[in-house]
A and B are shown apart, each in its own frame.
Chain A
Amino acid sequence: MKIATHSPGVLETHLRKTRGVGRKILVPYITGGLTGWIDAIRGAVANGADAIEIGIPFSDPVMDGPIIQMASEKALRDGATPISILQELRTVDVAVPLIVMCYYNTVFRAGHDRFANTLRDSGVVAAIVPDLPLEESAQWASAAEKSQIETVMLAAPTAPDERLPRVVDRARGFVYAVGLLGVTGERTELAVTAVAMATRLKKITDVPVLVGVGVSNAEQAVQACTVADGVIQGASVVRRLLEDGADAVAEYVAEVRAAIDSPIASKR
């Protein structure tokens, strides 16, 4: 395993500390601009989220399945913009790090430096840009670094062994292990690739490794956490927000928290 040489930012420090006390990391994803999204963030944090990932809706979300697509379309129809979401985010006073997920055109259109500054000024500490792979990421990464924004890199099951270390080297905050071949969305079972991916990554880095995409319920979160440092839950959270509102998100986060905290989970 390679010890990271960069100095950890706010997110990574927080996640390393969390891991250090033997706690599995839980990061719910919430689409910004959806009705009740701010309450959902507060509810999630109150019930055990260790960080929150906020999705900035985009017109053409190619990494997202039906639930998050629907949420994005709805938020856009309701008039959400990157600016309106980030401004509203300033009003949220929660004790955990905030991460933004956005497609690259949102960044490119705003301008790298301007976007990074806006994130920082909105209290965001990290960014995930799912359509900006390693080879295209240099410009953004340097702008982000200047603004103390940590850029989370995705690592996918298709990556050959020689590629993973290069991806991990660029990762700040945590490494996002893509759990399966496919887009975001709930699945009946955790794909075998999820644990396999976490295992490959844990072997080569001490940066926290979180599994996301296709981690669909408490049971699957427990399974992923047998190897990974934590999980990101997207579609399962957003579906509850869409169908039943912010309280349902809070309840669900509490359920997943309890499951990954249970002695059985931590022993496995």
Chain B
Amino acid sequence: MNSKPVPTELLTPGADGRFGEFGGRFVPETLVPACEELERAFNDAWNDSLFRTELDDLLREYAGRPSILTECHNLGAQLGIRLILKREDLNHTGSHKINSVLGQALLAKRMGKKRIIAETGAGQHGVASATAAALLGLECKVYMGAVDVERQSLNVFRMKLLGATVEAANSGSRTLKDAVNEAMRDWVASVETSYYCIGSVMGPHPYPFMVRQFQSVIGKEARKQFQEMCDGADPNVVVACVGGGSNAMGIFSGFVDAKTRLVGVEPAGGAAVGRGTPGVVHGMKSYLMQDEYGQVQEAHSISAGLDYPGVGPEHSYLASVGRAEYPSVNDQEVIEGFKLLARTEGIIPALECAHAVAWIAKEAPKIQGQTVLMNLSGRGDKDVAQMMTILGDQLD
């Protein structure tokens, strides 16, 4: 077995916001009081049973939790493994993003903020934010890289339909990284009235910790459901795709103390952990794709949601202590993974999750007979138009 003996539980960062050497709060002075206020507000809310009940009710009655597990009998048999999916794609708005957004939007209201700001890559976090804002009566502005506005036009329309304003980020690489920059600039100017609803386990403390806590519902449910399905056993391997890393942290959080191998699959063109070095951007110290002078490099991935040169600091920590591993797959493998799950199981995955499928298919010969739990964090509807362009008439 590849699994390591793991006594550790997840870290709760102290005032310095660190996971090991990673994390922290590297923000302009203007934002420091806001981060401190948020840290206090979150801790207060998280320990308030009324807040937790309100959130749980929303997750159940609005988002549709708990999400189910689905065993992939066909693909499992084909690969020689037992493959089980955690179906975050079945949540309202089509991905795991809603888990954190409902929590953050409730928190924003509790803090008396009337407006939320969000960045989005593939548009899933933007749609989830726009949705929560509509539900809770908040104003919502979403920043999205101009390149992503183009390739995810369906989600742009959905956000607008939900009443959000979408602003294309035209600076830099015009993808997720630049959307984060624009959102942070907005926040610097609007910090007194606005809440920055970050889409992943990234950014300055307390965001990586807070978003992980909100997403930990995935891991908590999945552990219990998996044990019920598999006679009390834990999976040999848990797999999730990693951009910023929130769906992965969500499911990992349930298994950090198990003898389960944790695998975060990065895109080859955005492999922050796999190919990056420690750096500081977007308020955090973490692995980062950068040049010798510390200029952040542009990520290149077929999936807008993973097109990010950094990664959440807790992943950097888990990688540095050897608790989780972060292989990468290339765009071609992802396309094959996308088709594979659709054809064998009748489930069209988000391109982000197709990274996890691709890794599982590649790794299968080495893990014959093992149980694999994959977080299917989003559905592929949003990617169909893009795939139609890429695959065209190759589909017969």
Contacts and interface: CB of A to CB of B under 8 A. Distances in A.
Interface string A57-97: 01111110100010001001000011100000000000000
B33 interface: yes
B185 A58 contact: no
A157 B24 CA distance: 22
Contact of A108 (B190, B294, B296): B294
A62 B181 contact: yes
B192 A158 contact: yes
Interface stretch (B136-144, B236-244, B276-284): B276-284
Given A105-B279, A108-B279, A60 B25 contact: no
Contacts of A63: 28, 185, 188
A159 B191 CA distance: 12
A178 B181 contact: no
Interface in A121-165: 130-136, 153-160, 163
Contacts of A73: 171-172
B26 interface: yes
Contacts of A60: 172, 177-178, 181, 281-282, 296
Nearest to A80: B293
Contact of A133 (B16, B28, B185): B28
Contact of B293 (A65, A106, A134): A106
Nearest to A64: B185
A36 interface: no
A108 B33 contact: no
Given A156-B30, A159-B33, A181-B190, A105 B24 contact: no
A109 B278 CA distance: 8
Given A60-B181, A62-B184, A69-B171, A109 B290 contact: yes
A132 to B, nearest CB: 6
Nearest to B173: A59
Contacts of B368: none
A157 B181 contact: no
Interface in B106-146: none
Interface in A28-62: 58-62
Interface residues of A, number: 40
B290 A105 contact: yes
Interface string B284-296: 0100101011111
Interface in B62-118: none
A182 interface: yes
Contacts of B32: 133-135, 156, 158-159, 163
A60 B182 CA distance: 10
Contact of B188 (A108, A132, A181): A181
A131 B181 contact: no
A76 B16 contact: no
Given A60-B282, A62-B185, A76 B28 contact: no
A58 B285 CA distance: 16
A154 B190 CA distance: 18
A109 B292 CA distance: 7
A182 B189 contact: yes
A185 to B, nearest CB: 10
B42 to A, nearest CB: 18
Nearest to B278: A108
B59 to A, nearest CB: 32
Interface string A162-187: 01000100000000001001110000
Contacts of B283: 131
A78 to B, nearest CB: 13
Contacts of B281: 60, 105
A158 B30 contact: yes
Contacts of B295: 58-59, 76
Contacts of A105: 279-281, 288, 290, 294, 296
B48 interface: no
A110 B28 CA distance: 20
A109 B279 contact: yes
Contacts of B279: 105, 108-109
B272 to A, nearest CB: 14
B191 A158 contact: yes
Nearest to B283: A131
B28 A181 contact: no
Contacts of B288: 105
B139 to A, nearest CB: 17
B367 interface: no
B34 interface: yes
B192 A131 contact: no
Interface in B289-305: 290, 292-297
A132 B26 contact: yes
Given A60-B172, A73-B171, A108-B294, A167 B29 contact: yes
Interface in A175-225: 178, 181-183
B172 A158 contact: no
B162 interface: no
Contact of A136 (B25, B191, B297): B25
B45 interface: no
Contacts of A183: 185, 188-189
A181 B25 contact: no
A155 B294 CA distance: 26
A133 B172 contact: no
B27 interface: yes
17 contacts: A59-B172, A60-B281, A60-B296, A61-B181, A81-B293, A104-B26, A104-B280, A105-B280, A108-B294, A134-B29, A135-B25, A135-B32, A153-B29, A154-B30, A178-B30, A182-B188, A183-B188
Nearest 4 pairs of A and B residues by beta carbon: A109-B294, A182-B189, A156-B30, A105-B294
